[in-house]
Amino acid sequence: MIDFSAFNDALGIMFTSAGSWGWIVPGLIVGLVFSAIPGISITMAMAIVLPMSLYMDFFSAIVFLTSVYTGAGFGGSVPAILMNIPGSPSSFATTFDGYAMSQKGEHNEALGYALFASTLCGIAGYVLLLLVIEPLADIVLRIGPVEMFAVAIWGMMLLGSLGSAYISRGLLAAALGILLGTVGMNTAGFTRGTLGLPVLLDGIAPIPAMIGLLAASQLLSLASRDYIIEAEGSREVSLRKILKGCWGTMKYPGVLLRGSIIGIIIGAVPGVGSSIGNLIAYAETKRTAKDSATFGKGNPKGVIAAESAVASGEGGSMATMLALGIPGGGATAILIAAFMMHNIVPGPSFIETQKPMVYAIILNNIVQAIVLLAVGIGFIYVASNIMKVRTRYVLPAILVIATLGTFAVTGEAAGPITLFVFALLGYALNRYQYPVSAVVVGILLGRMLETEFLRSYQLSGGNPLYILERPGAMAIFAVMFASLAMTAWGKRKQNRAEAAEALAMEKLRDEAAAHAAHTTPSKG
Amino acid sequence: MRIGRQTYAIDYGHLALITLIAAAVFWYLLDARSVSLSINNLLLVQPVAIFALALYLFILPQCFHKVDARAAEKSVDEADPFAVKLSTDRADVIRMAALGLSLGLMVFLLDVIGFDIAIFLFAAAAMAICGERRPLHLLGFSLVVTLVTIYGFRALISYPMPTTLL
Amino acid sequence: MTHFTRRDLFKISAGGVAVASGMVAMPSILRAATYPSRPINVIVPFATGGYNDRLSRAFMPYLEQELGQPLVIVNKPGAGTQLGNSYALNQPADGYSILCTSAAPYIPLTVLLQNAPYKVEDFTMINLPSRDYTLAATSSGGPVKTFAEVIEKLKKDPSSLSIGVQPASADYANMVLAFQAAGIDPSKLRIVTYDGGGPARNATAGAQVDVGFVGGEGFLPLKSKIRPLAIFAAEKVDWFPDAPLIGATLKTDFVEGSQRGWAVSTKLTKEQPEIYKILVAAVEKASKNPKAIETLKLQELATTWYGPEASNKAYLDNAAKMAKYVDLLK
């Protein structure tokens, strides 16, 4: 738990180095702007500014970089909501309901929901981190391939909630995605499906592929529209509506809490990355919601669930980094490099000897989350104005930016070419009602599925009873199945209730008809 | 097409798409198997590929509609909240195809004619496709997009970006 | 800069060939006299934040001081350094592109296992200050205490312990060589594969696997979470003195781990020997700069000056050994 004397010292560090606070706002803005560019992920945004931070003193550099991290965590949701292009894989689930809301003219509210969920859960993640940083670190290292495989499967369950008119087409799309995700060299060193191209040895770059698939379904179809939203009255940018969305977030504490817990745990596990937490949080929220049928059609809970997992995952990822010195994902790998460049090696000895500094970093992140609220409102206010620009200006600019964004991923034409090839695939899949989202989920999770499944197999020597030695994995599967069973049971109850209601209505109608029939003659 | 007494309409586009997917999956499976038959290689890939091929056989009949059943099927399409409704209006399809084609041209020409020229041409083409006809706007805005993105990204990323004029 | 960027365009046209050959024909002394006259690209075939990236960034100010021109770090990660290596070879041999890379065993491995479109000899080392060695380790709370115990257990039952290792790496070769020397059939072991040193280390520290074979340097931040069993080095390693040498338990051949540092294309040393000399002198001076040594030491980065001859020998020896044992890796 909290070491109070260290906490006091941490407050001391915070106030004596007040000069470094000045880096919060620039850091947040840089993070917001960079990650709003399609193709620039959180990791890349941080990699871009890392060299800059070399010239600052240690605490300022960390404040600046973590501010970029905090800002970038939210920035990706802006293009996701306004244009259905996730800035990075972590904001993929935000597109489901966020874009649907903005198509209904509720983009102000959607951005407000996303921002507030991001802020609240960012704070929640760090507060929890303050409390449990050390025990969490030990648990995290114990998470093995079987547990990770369970998590990957959980992520795939999202497919169930992507509901397509044809189940078979959804499954084919998912299988295709998984196979695309396994192209290249696998964890055991076998190389498949690269067509002899060295760029494919590391697999298909997921970000260009994702943008291509989703862009084809959206951006190209914008060509025939004059504005992103067709209804003229809905294009307004309203601070009042943004704030209304922010405030509305408070109405869903359960969604926030669930998203935060999922986000923190998954963020803390090294190597999982931020692309899966939002998917699981979305799927779980949708499945447990009473109004699950409205998800995907602009239900604010979908936006909140996805964003809360992304924001809180940041705290989890920082916990692993500070306590163990190992990166939870790409962004924390950059942070570790920044620490090392300032001659500080994070890890168990750092936490023991420099606890006040660790607390100061965490406290500063909480401050950042609060500042993000103000900076974020300003940012989305400006960014929403894109709705008022005619597509003939927006579309060429966005397509060029997306192309260059994917170029930034790979550093050569391979990125833009991936974008284009997957745009064609995406168009064809959409045309024949295959859920493109299922392909994206497959691409994002395929590699993890294979890697963890393979390691589980190797560890167990092929003996399925090995899972009995892994209580953690059993617990994850148990929670997953319990959640599934409960939903199924809830659905049955709901269906029964609906059926009963329908029956009652029918009865009522019959009675009314009978009554009418009874009374008509007298009238006539 | 007639089989027995029933007349069938074939959805050639759909047929081509899934056959292409199935062929790619089949090729991928063969490629993986040619590398090694070790379980370490095929553990996930082989079952998923076989599952995908089985689904192909399952979906295949959906490409053949009984002619009278076609109208009834239309109503199913509306229910899916995640499916994006693409316009099938002729003018819109042509616009989308033109935009897709210019995107492809830009992507493949980036390295050949330089990023600056490729981006400028694409921006102008895309604006024209979206309905901009005033030459001053067309050229002016494309120029702005080119300058901003080239200089912006050059400042951001360390990779050299081959350009011709800038 | 227009001159520089235009060249890329010319590369694809016939005119480019003429221009390029014209540049080569220029007397090398003349070009060396003005070298370096513009910023120099440092190609790092790894992502931002890795060892080589940190090494290049930490060393950069001291090398800039010697060369009198700014350095620009270009990260070109992917395909086990193959993408970055190919990229470096495709740059003109004019001394404006140098590599900061884990030369061994990555360059030989991409040649041997990935059919990379270059040869080991296409690269010439300037200095490889960082020498890593495979470390066999277990989680600090684990039941196994010594490497002899590992061998004893595996001899009785090859599946009694799980082994974590990165396939197609120096560590993998060492693992196979050690177990073969001990009379254990490696194909019967329970081997868990990791696609990088980091995940393999985490798995070892977290007792996911019983024994991990990974490059030892990366273990330093996690030192308190692991117990070193054997390090595959001939002499005591100064950054991990308490790790027992493999020779103490087992007589076996082994390959050295990653050798990281500065390299250029061999073409440069042939066509522009003067420029190569300037680079070597600059790296030597910077490596011996006391301030550089102090700064890099604090970041756990190496600055030892071995020089081009020793570095090239170490690199080529490693490549030869990798070629010898390539069958173990497939």
Q: What is the pLDDT of residue A217?
A: 66
Contacts of A403 in chain B (CB under 8 A): 103, 106-107, 110, 119
Residue C133 DSSP symbol:
-
In this predicted model, which residue has the larger pLDDT, A326 or B145? Answer: B145
Kind of pairing between the strands at C226-231 and C134-139: antiparallel
Contact call for A326 and C221, based on CB within 8 A = yes
pLDDT of residue C138 exceeding 90: yes
Q: What is the pLDDT of residue B69?
A: 53
pLDDT of residue B78 exceeding 60: no
What the block records as the tokens of B105 is: 């041209």
Give C39: exposed, middle or buried? Use CB within 10 Å, 0-12, 13-18, 19+.
middle
* Residue C307 in domain: yes
Contact (Cβ atoms closer than 8 angstroms) between residue A86 and residue A92: yes
Residue A238 DSSP symbol:
-
Q: What is the pLDDT of residue C18?
A: 40
Q: Which domain covers residue C143, as residue numbers?
A: 134-248
Nearest to C74 among B40, B112, B159 (CB): B159
Q: What is the pLDDT of residue C10?
A: 38
Contact call for B158 and C73, based on CB within 8 A = yes
Q: What is the pLDDT of residue A190?
A: 87
Nearest to B127 among A186, A396, A454 (CB): A396
Q: What is the pLDDT of residue A470?
A: 85
Q: What is the pLDDT of residue A164?
A: 61
Nearest to A347 among C54, C80, C221 (CB): C221
Confidence of residue A161 (pLDDT cuts 50, 70, 90): low
Whose tokens are 């002016």? That residue is B140
ω into A208 cis (within 30 of 0): no
Q: What are the C-alpha distances in Å from B77 to residues A165, B63, B65, B89?
A: 7, 15, 15, 17
Distant-in-sequence, close-in-space partners of A58: CB < 8 Å, separation ≥ 6 = A342, A344
HSE-CB for B93 with a 13 A CA cutoff: 6
Q: What is the pLDDT of residue C23?
A: 44
Contacts of A337 in chain C (CB under 8 A): 48-50, 53-54
Residue A503 DSSP symbol:
H
The pLDDT tens digits for C34-78 are: 888 888 889 988 877 778 888 888 888 898 888 888 888 888 887
Nearest C-alpha in C relative to B159? C74
Between vectors from CA A520 to CA A517 and to CA A524, what angle results, nearest 5°?
155
pLDDT, mean of residues A397-420: 87
Q: By three-state DSSP, how is residue B37 classified?
A: coil
ipTM, two decimals, is 0.87
Share of chain B above pLDDT 70, in %: 84
In chain B, which among 35-94 make CB contacts under 8 A with chain C? 40
Beta bridge partners, C136, equal C213, C230
Mutate which of A199, A321, A450, A455 to test chain C, going by most C C-beta atoms within 10 A? A455
Contact call for B83 and A165, based on CB within 8 A = yes
- Residue A376 CA to residue C210 CA, distance in Å, equals 47
Identify the CA nearest to C23 among candidates C127, C80, C96. C96
Identify the CA nearest to B86 among candidates A293, A216, A389, A420. A216
Q: What is the pLDDT of residue C197?
A: 81
> Phi and psi for C262 in degrees, rounded to 5?
-105, 135
Identify the CA nearest to B161 among candidates C14, A416, C99. A416
SS3 assignment for A185-214: ECCCCCEECCCCCHHHHHCCCHHHHHHHHH
pLDDT of residue C21 exceeding 70: no
pLDDT of residue C14 exceeding 70: no
Task: Please report, as a single letter, which amino acid is at residue B136.
Answer: L
Between vectors from CA B151 to CA B150 and to CA B155, what angle results, nearest 5°?
115
pLDDT, mean of residues A183-190: 86
pLDDT of residue A76 exceeding 70: yes
Whose tokens are 């996701």? That residue is A80
Nearest C-alpha in C relative to A192? C114
- Residue C170 CA to residue C162 CA, distance in Å, equals 19
Q: What is the pLDDT of residue B70?
A: 52
The pLDDT tens digits for A474-518 are: 888 888 888 777 777 776 776 777 777 777 777 777 776 666 665
Residue A413 DSSP symbol:
T
Kind of pairing between the strands at C134-139 and C211-215: antiparallel
pLDDT of residue C223 exceeding 90: no
Q: What is the pLDDT of residue C12?
A: 40
- Residue C257 CA to residue C169 CA, distance in Å, equals 9
Nearest C-alpha in B relative to A185? B41
> Phi and psi for B162 in degrees, rounded to 5?
-65, 120
DSSP for B53-90? HHHHHHHGGGGEEEGGGHHHHGGGGGG-SSS------H
Confidence of residue B79 (pLDDT cuts 50, 70, 90): very low
Q: How many CB atoms lie within 10 A of CB A481?
A: 10
Q: Average the pLDDT over each of A363-377, B13-27, B96-110, C294-308 and give the range with the smallest value.
A: C294-308
Task: Please report, as a single letter, which amino acid is at residue B30.
Answer: L
In this predicted model, which residue has the larger pLDDT, C204 or A5? Answer: C204
pLDDT, mean of residues A18-22: 81
Q: How many CB atoms lie within 10 A of CB B6?
A: 12
Q: What are the C-alpha distances in Å from A478 to residues A305, A467, A473, B8, C245?
A: 22, 12, 8, 48, 45
Share of chain A above pLDDT 90, in %: 19
* Distance (Å) from the alpha carbon of A317 to chain B's nearest alpha carbon: 25
Q: What is the pLDDT of residue A245?
A: 86
- Residue A36 CA to residue C234 CA, distance in Å, equals 52
Identify the CA nearest to A388 among candidates A233, A216, A242, A244. A233
Please say which residue of C248, C275, C297 terminates a domain: C248
Confidence of residue C11 (pLDDT cuts 50, 70, 90): very low
Identify the CA nearest to C103 among candidates C71, C78, C125, C136. C125
Q: How many CB atoms lie within 10 A of CB C38?
A: 12
pLDDT, mean of residues A260-278: 81
pLDDT, mean of residues A431-438: 86
pLDDT of residue A68 exceeding 60: yes
Confidence of residue A114 (pLDDT cuts 50, 70, 90): very high
Q: Is the same domain home to C125 and C141? A: no
Buried b (16+ CB within 10 A) or exposed e, A357-368: bbbbbbbbbbbb
Identify the CA nearest to A432 among candidates B7, B88, B50, B69. B88
Q: What are the C-alpha distances in Å from C133 to residues C130, C180, C236, C246, C260?
A: 10, 19, 11, 11, 12
Distant-in-sequence, close-in-space partners of B34: CB < 8 Å, separation ≥ 6 = none
pLDDT of residue B19 exceeding 90: yes
pLDDT, mean of residues C280-295: 89
Identify the CA nearest to B7 among candidates B57, B65, B61, B80. B65
pLDDT of residue C122 exceeding 80: yes
Q: Please state, rounded to an integer, the average pLDDT across all residues of chain A.
A: 84
Beta bridge partners, C130, equal C260
- Residue A289 CA to residue A381 CA, distance in Å, equals 30
The pLDDT tens digits for A150-160 are: 888 888 877 76
Q: CATH number for the domain including C178?
A: 3.40.190.10
Distant-in-sequence, close-in-space partners of C116: CB < 8 Å, separation ≥ 6 = A198, C82, C85, C86, C110
What the block records as the tokens of C233 is: 């080095």
Q: CATH number for the domain including C76?
A: 3.40.190.150
In chain A, which among 186-225 make CB contacts under 8 A with chain C? 186-189, 191, 198-199, 201-202
C neighbour chains, 3+ CB pairs within 8 Å? A, B
pLDDT of residue C5 exceeding 50: no
Q: What is the pLDDT of residue A321?
A: 83
Share of chain A above pLDDT 70, in %: 94
Contact (Cβ atoms closer than 8 angstroms) between residue B96 and residue A224: yes
pLDDT of residue A170 exceeding 60: yes
Where do the H-state alpha helices sit in B86-134?
Answer: 90-113, 115-129
A52 inside 8 A of chain C by CB: no
What the block records as the tokens of A44 is: 């890349």
Q: What is the pLDDT of residue C167?
A: 85
* Residue C60 in domain: yes
- Residue C132 CA to residue B164 CA, distance in Å, equals 44
Beta bridge partners, A191, equal A185
Helix (H) or strand (E) holding C211: strand C211-215
pLDDT of residue A252 exceeding 60: yes
Q: Average the pLDDT over each of A321-335, B103-117, C87-101 and give the range with the smallest value.
A: A321-335
Nearest C-alpha in A relative to B91? A224
pLDDT of residue A178 exceeding 60: yes
Confidence of residue B86 (pLDDT cuts 50, 70, 90): low
Contact (Cβ atoms closer than 8 angstroms) between residue B76 and residue B124: no
Distant-in-sequence, close-in-space partners of B166: CB < 8 Å, separation ≥ 6 = B116, B146, B147, B150, B151, C5
ω into C36 cis (within 30 of 0): yes
Q: Is the same domain home to C285 and C188? A: no
Identify the CA nearest to C210 among candidates C168, C147, C156. C147
pLDDT of residue C15 exceeding 70: no
The pLDDT tens digits for A340-363 are: 778 777 877 777 778 888 888 888
Confidence of residue C98 (pLDDT cuts 50, 70, 90): very high
Confidence of residue A113 (pLDDT cuts 50, 70, 90): very high
Chain A, chain C: beta-carbon pairs less than 8 Å apart: 125
pLDDT, mean of residues A185-203: 85
Distant-in-sequence, close-in-space partners of A382: CB < 8 Å, separation ≥ 6 = none
Contact call for B84 and A217, based on CB within 8 A = yes
Q: Is the same domain home to C102 and C143? A: no
pLDDT of residue C106 exceeding 80: yes
Contact (Cβ atoms closer than 8 angstroms) between residue A357 and residue A13: yes
Confidence of residue B85 (pLDDT cuts 50, 70, 90): low
- Residue A335 CA to residue A327 CA, distance in Å, equals 8
